[in-house]
Amino acid sequence: MTIETIGIVGCGLMGSGIVEVCARSGFNVLVGEMNEDLLKAGLGRVRKSIERAASRGKISAEEAEATLRRIRGVADLQDLAPADLVIEAITENPEPKKMVFRTLDAVLRPEVIIATNTSSISIAALAAVTGRPDKVIGMHFFNPVPVMQLLELVRGILTSDETLATAQEVGARLGKTTVVAKDSPGFIVNRLLIPYIIDAIKLYEAGLATKEDIDAGVKLGLAHPMGPLTLADLVGLDTTLAVADVLYEEYGEPRFKAPPLLRQMVTAGLLGRKSGRGFYDYRE
């Protein structure tokens, strides 16, 4: 089917980036949030990012205005009914996601694909609460969405060839490079990333080196664009912990077990860039 209108559920850090990329790529975008305050904050984040791109010459002022005109916010998921594809991008928690999927399944036309931006949760488990498991797929974007070129597509056991092909076509239109993974917790990227971040936190927790030296060692010694603790702050320590817990529960391997420091920081509200403090202080 032809995709002209994309619905996005959730306009937080990831959702707002997905909204921006979809609108900049020419799609009409319906943005659904749980209440008016969250919707206002999310749309404000999108507008600020688009205006910043225009001020830096990445897009013209005319393109920025055209992009903003393609975006419409709704505070009721029932209003996503006109969408040709919906991407869920709420918190990394299976039960709220299942609630969204049940609602979308009742609201959307039978042929509409429901995708999830999950970075670790089973696609089959989300598909099972719908009457269209063949039209459920993972579309895992990376933060910051307008910058990162990868789109990880995750195929559930019942995801159809047609659904995968449509997701690949949408990814190409968004200017992303798509990779396809089977429905296994962590998929490709987080299956590799989470143990790496966990090991870095353990090194810091054990006092082996300062956070600055750990990050500098990886940047300069391994040619990474940023160190693991800076990356954890960017991803969000709460998201990192949630994914680690899913992986540890599924596989039971020590390399996926979150260190106490990570859990303590999340409990204290030190979530990284999104909260202003994580391993580093971003409040200034």
Residues involved in catalysis: 119, 140, 152, 190
Amino acid occupying residue 154: V
Counting other chains too, the contacts that 168-171 makes at CB distance below 8 Å and 24 or more residues apart are 169/3, 170/3, 170/6, 170/85, 170/139, 171/139
The token pair at 160 is: 């159809």
209 in the Ramachandran plot: left (φ > 0), alpha (ψ -120 to 50) or beta? beta
Q: Which residues pair with 88 in a beta bridge?
A: 9, 116
